[in-house]
Structure 1
């Protein structure tokens, strides 16, 4: 978890979140620092994020925003092809959305009564 101000967009914090991510192994050993695949919503749809994931060899399923598709279509043949998108894999994202929905049902988290980031992180951890 990475906590920021309420007005910070998802795009700006993507690399910070990915660098703190640890994927536990099934057997013994330290956790991996690189996931196999990332499922993101349209807030993470950018060429910079896609390039960052590609450089690290991480697969991704991120839908393209309508304005990006429109810009690509206006560019004609000189603009790159659309990013790959698998609808069947993206359907697994509902687990994440349901988790966010469950967290927001807790009034203290939804309205952020906690004054410090440390106590807010503790509340989110308890609710999780």
Structure 2
């Protein structure tokens, strides 16, 4: 799970087990982080997350899931900027060690993510 800033640079990273749903990594990812809006895809449309964002005063730019009984409105124009997250992952996967996960430990793998993110931000 990665949190990127408005320019598409890595802000925070949380590694999850392969079988875990991405929603489990949101709480530690946004803990103690101040932001005005959270842009995420439909997988992050959860009541607890929407309530948390409401308490923080941040807007949720998350499209509602298809199975929601009451569809929420979201800012479709702002949602178009979510491509910055996808662009970040595309750039990071250009580095072979990240894409194929050569590192044996989570600590080494996380360190490589931060190293590559620093290289990309410096370009």
> For the superposition of Structure 1 and Structure 2, which TM-score range results when normalised by the shorter chain?
0.7 to 0.9
TM-score of the aligned structures, taking structure 2 as reference length? 0.77
User: What's the secondary structure of 2:102's corresponding residue?
Assistant: coil
1:8 aligns with 2:33: no
The CA deviation at 1:86 is 1.2
1:96 aligns with 2:85: yes
Q: Give unmatched runs, 5+ long, in structure 2.
A: 1-12, 118-123
Alignment of 1:39-78 (within 5 A): 39-68=39-68, 72=69
Q: Give unmatched runs, 5+ long, in structure 1.
A: 21-32, 73-80
Match of residue 114 from structure 2: 125
**Higher-helix-fraction structure:** 1
User: What's the secondary structure of 1:66's corresponding residue?
Assistant: coil
**Higher-strand-fraction structure:** 2
Match of residue 34 from structure 1: 34
Hey, what's the Cα distance between the residues in 2 that align with 1:106 and 1:67?
Answer: 37
TM-score of the aligned structures, taking structure 1 as reference length? 0.75
Hey, what's the Cα distance between the residues in 1 that align with 2:22 and 2:53?
Answer: 15
The CA deviation at 1:82 is 2.3
The number of residues matched between the two structures is 105
Match of residue 10 from structure 2: none
Match of residue 107 from structure 1: 96
